[in-house]
Amino acid sequence: MAIEATLILCKPDAVSRGLVGEIVSRIERRGYIVTAMRMMQLDGDRARAHYAEHDGKPFFADLVTFITSAPLVALAVEGENAIDGCRQLIGATDPLKAAPGSIRGDFAQTIGRNLVHGSDGKESARRELAIFFKDSDFVSRRHDLERWIHG
């Protein structure tokens, strides 16, 4: 059993389309716990830090422009195997390849406007969570997590 934390971003297209509640609901119905949440307008420095692994790639500037174009909602999500579980829930990056029933498969239209980001591994999750949240932003919900794990 691996209890993990991951970053989920409801990107500007999810916020503008009114899908944040649907996304959070799917995460919670899957049994994951939201331990921090912020609605924010991302600045360029934070966006470049978030997408640092793509710096130098042809699409980097478009990623930064889009993610800073309107408010987003950042979530810290915890639970058993939360990283892979949330990525499965989100679906493939390309909505045309995302499984029906996944967030992107059900709601996203293009690869450039795919509604949601989820950390792709433990190191990424640690790095990304630190970009969006301070330690004081987290609320302990361990009692909920324990009840979830042990029934």
The Cα–Cα gap between 15 and 11 comes to 6
Res. 2 pLDDT band, cuts 50 70 90: confident
Catalytic residue check, 117: yes
Per-residue model confidence as pLDDT tens digits over 22-64: 999 999 999 999 999 999 999 999 999 999 999 999 999 999 9
Beta carbons of 75 and 89 less than 8 angstroms apart: no
Q: What residues does 10 pair with on adjacent strands?
A: 73, 116
- Supply the CATH classification number for the domain 3-150: 3.30.70.141
Catalytic residue (one of 50, 54, 117, 143): 117
What's phi and psi for 137, nearest 5 deg? -80, -20
Q: What residues does each domain of the chain span?
A: 3-150
Predicted TM-score (pTM) of the model is 0.91
Structure tokens at 106: 């059900």
DSSP state of 99: P
C-alpha 138, offset from chain centre: 16
The Cα–Cα gap between 79 and 53 comes to 26
Question: In the prediction, which pLDDT does 1 show?
Answer: 65
Single-letter code of the amino acid located at 141:
R
Mean pLDDT of 108-117: 95
